[in-house]
């Protein structure tokens, strides 16, 4: 699954699913991409890696992703869908430019 949402600071970046899949593959040292429908908990993601994925995903999309989403039965497709559907937060209320 791909989405149109990309890094808001750089609209020319790759689709979110490709970016996140590559990040997970790199962090886990996998030799090849994993099936997007595979529960991420089956990949052997530990809590430290999940925390890093959570931070990277938020920095890339502007949407908070709890680290627990990377540890259980959710798939790459599930997380990408949630990120694509989430509203991107704007400036904090009362913030001045």
Question: What is the residue-averaged pLDDT of the chain?
Answer: 83
The domain limits of the chain are 21-28+35-85
Contacts for 83 with CB less than 8 Å, ≥ 6 apart: 3, 5, 16, 57, 61, 63, 65
pLDDT band at 51 (very low <50, low <70, confident <90, very high): very high
Topology of domain 21-28+35-85, per CATH? 1.10.1200
| pLDDT at residue 3 tops 50 | no
**pLDDT at 12 (0 to 100):** 41
Q: What pairs with residue 97 in β-bridges?
A: none
| pLDDT at residue 54 tops 60 | yes
- Region 51-73: mean pLDDT is 94
Sign of the C-alpha dihedral computed for residues 72, 73, 75 and 80 taken in this order: negative
The pTM assigned to this predicted structure is 0.74
């Amino acid at each position: 699954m791909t989405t149109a949402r990309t890094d808001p600071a750089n609209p020319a970046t790759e689709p979110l699913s490709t970016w996140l899949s590559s990040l997970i593959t790199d962090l886990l040292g996998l030799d090849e991409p994993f099936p997007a429908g595979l529960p991420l908990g089956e990949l052997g993601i530990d809590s430290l890696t999940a925390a890093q994925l959570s931070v990277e995903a938020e920095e890339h999309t502007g949407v908070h992703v709890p680290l627990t989403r990377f540890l259980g039965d959710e798939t790459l497709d599930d997380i990408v869908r949630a990120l694509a559907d989430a509203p991107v937060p704007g400036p904090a209320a009362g913030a001045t430019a």
